Chains A and B, each alone.
Chain A
Amino acid sequence: MVPDATFTSYYGRPVVKAAPWEKDIPAYLFLGGLAGGSSLMSAGADLSGRPGLRRVGRLGALVGISASMFALVHDLGRPDRFHHMLRVAKPTSPMSVGTWILTAYGPAAGLAGAAELRPLLPARLRDGLAGKLLGLAARPAGLGAALLAPAVASYTAVLLSDTATPTWHEAHNELPFVFVGSASAAAGGLGMALAPLSESGPAQRLAVGGALLELAAEHKMERSMGLTAEPLHQGRAGQLMQLSKTLTAFGALTAALLGRRSRAAAVVAGTALVTGSACTRFGIFEAGQDSARDPKYTVVPQRERLNARASAGGT
């Protein structure tokens, strides 16, 4: 740990502002990741002839993306102006990029997910032209969603990192890997928990691989962040991150050892991984907010940077 730094501030007030975001945003981060991972999983399942896993994946993506879109709009200061996001396309704005990714991904994932609901439709609708088209569109839509899914899962890391929030910004090298790992673990966990055991092999591998990637990337991230890693270990954020790691490690281990043997174990492992993934997003979100509220995390690294530059002969 970095020792407690001495620093000056203006009456302890924050230098930077914490994002005005509530729980909607970490929920969105998690659900978007879940959706992205699920789309990938369902596409693989589709192509490899695993209809059960495909169904879980597509429905997971549908639910995930719908809920995440709701959360995203709900968090706006002026939800009625959601469509203003579509006025411009700005590569400098991860939120703009994300908006366009979601604009492309959402309908595709939605279509694929809706197709899975086709059997539940009344026969007239199911077998009508629309129903038939839905059935035909399912695979292209699912594959399209899968191609966009990695972007859905990873861009949110840039969304957080492209801020002056110390813990988010300083995490920018590893955070995309943490997030895609977390997305894989969640989607794989979902597949394990809900798909037939017979089809859940890829889900298990996705879950374990994702979990390992997440844990490894997180480990590297915390090492590289210096003082700004501190909020990841403190308070509520620290508890969430600890829980995340425990659940992810436990889920991965359980998945690896028992995930294909026992239905119950698969459910336990899957649930642990999904929950762990949620904890990761909430934990990182909270840690960032904490880092913005305490001027220490803004001032001390900048001051150290200045001092280093000064001692290197700069000004």
Chain B
Amino acid sequence: MSNSFFGPLDPAPDAGWVEAPPRKGFFTDTSVCIGCKACEVACKEWNAIPDDGMNFLGSSYDNTGALGASTWRHVAFIEQSKPLGTQDAGFAGTAAGPAATDVLNRAADSALTGDRSRLGTDTNAVDLGMPKVELPGADGAGRADFRWLMESDVCKHCTHAACLDVCPTGSLFRTEFGTVVVQDDICNGCGYCVPACPFGVIDRRIGEKGVTKNVGIAQKCTLCYDRIGDGLQPACATACPTQSIQYGDVDELRERAQKRVETLQAAGVHDAKLYGHDADDGIGGLGAFFLLLDEPEVYGLPPDPIVTTKDLPAMWRKAGLAAVTLLAGAVAVFTAGGS
């Protein structure tokens, strides 16, 4: 039982598929993402997902915010005062002062934290302080280094998928391609998969019943289960103009990703690193993994996720012990004498 909760394995055979095809997944190479959001739109078109609200977030060019029930691809935009390999941002020698990124990020933080509705629509205005008298950048503290990172996030189709494990109805299931899919007609909206996901991917759709599709049930990326079975690529990968989103056999993608990261390293992009490619990680490797140019948390990804069910056997043991304790206590209070 423990291996099914943790460690490397091929998920489709593990789930009982006989003669399963090779595991399918995504390799998202953020180093070539141009932030066009074609993936977001293609995904919504194909899957007939409702819009997710007209919210101006001011998080760089990201007005989507996060993955959710009605956002299965999310392009993150990060403006940073760091160099990107040997790129010349062109800000050296201009009248640019220090970066405002940190101030703006903090602002977004205060605007959004604690808001259950996921996206603060009523984002607060941010004052950057009093006008400076001296010429900006005159003190030499200008933002010479700059880079703009973009990343198209998606469901990870985990080897050990907590959402699937905790689903009490069997709505979430493992496909023959090793992916994880919700059956819309089974899910009863218990919502348990939502906090179970270590990446904050899946969510219960809110909206007006009878108007919006699938209100009240859990929704997420299906890796276009209704396309890949017919030999098509997922909609997002098809729409991606720069091959930032690559679809294919996970084994082959992992090799490709390894080569790509080596190429980038050799080209001086020392920040390039893979995320979620390692079958020995806390998830057993991701079906959809990434090449990132900064730490995962910068992109809103957990730096070291471990599937919650890794600890489930221990949890059951503790719960059993607690139950026994309770039973014993109850027996004791009646047998300990007294009225």
Q: Are B297 and A295 in contact (CB under 8 A)?
A: yes
Chain A residue nearest to B68 (CB atoms) is A17
Chain A facing B: main interface SS: helix
A80–B31 Cα distance when bound, in Å, is 46
Q: Are A9 and B304 in contact (CB under 8 A)?
A: no
Interface pairs (22), CB distance under 8 Å:
A8-B295, A10-B299, A10-B300, A12-B112, A47-B334, A77-B204, A81-B187, A85-B169, A85-B190, A87-B169, A88-B168, A88-B170, A93-B166, A93-B192, A150-B327, A151-B319, A163-B196, A164-B305, A172-B314, A176-B321, A205-B336, A299-B303
The yes or no answer to A132 lying at the interface (CB within 8 A) is no
**Residue among A164, A201, A205 with most chain B CB within 10 A:** A164
**Residue among B116, B167, B325, B336 with most chain A CB within 10 A:** B325
Q: Are A299 and B302 in contact (CB under 8 A)?
A: yes
The yes or no answer to B125 lying at the interface (CB within 8 A) is no
B interface, CB within 8 angstroms of A: 4-5, 57, 59, 62, 65-66, 68, 76, 78, 105-106, 108-116, 118, 162, 165-171, 186-192, 194-205, 215-218, 295, 297-305, 308-309, 311-312, 314-316, 318-327, 329-334, 336, 338-339
Q: Are A150 and B191 in contact (CB under 8 A)?
A: no
Q: Are B113 and A163 in contact (CB under 8 A)?
A: no
| A104-112, A273-281, A300-308 - interface stretch | A300-308
Q: Are B333 and A209 in contact (CB under 8 A)?
A: yes
Encoded as 1 (CB less than 8 Å from any B CB) or 0, chain A from 78 to 107 comes to 111110110110111111100100000000
Q: Are A164 and B162 in contact (CB under 8 A)?
A: yes
Q: Are B300 and A172 in contact (CB under 8 A)?
A: no
Count of chain A residues with a beta carbon within 8 Å of a chain B beta carbon: 95
- Nearest 7 A/B pairs, CB to CB: A77-B189, A12-B109, A77-B216, A10-B300, A176-B322, A150-B323, A81-B188
Q: Are A206 and B330 in contact (CB under 8 A)?
A: yes
The yes or no answer to A262 lying at the interface (CB within 8 A) is no
> With contacts A162-B309, A201-B339 known, is A40 near B330, CB below 8 A?
yes
A interface, CB within 8 angstroms of B: 7-21, 36-37, 40-41, 43-45, 47-48, 75-82, 84-85, 87-88, 90-96, 99, 146, 149-151, 153-155, 157-159, 161-165, 168-169, 172-177, 179-180, 183-184, 188, 198-199, 201-203, 205-206, 209-210, 213, 288-290, 292-295, 298-299, 302-303, 305-306
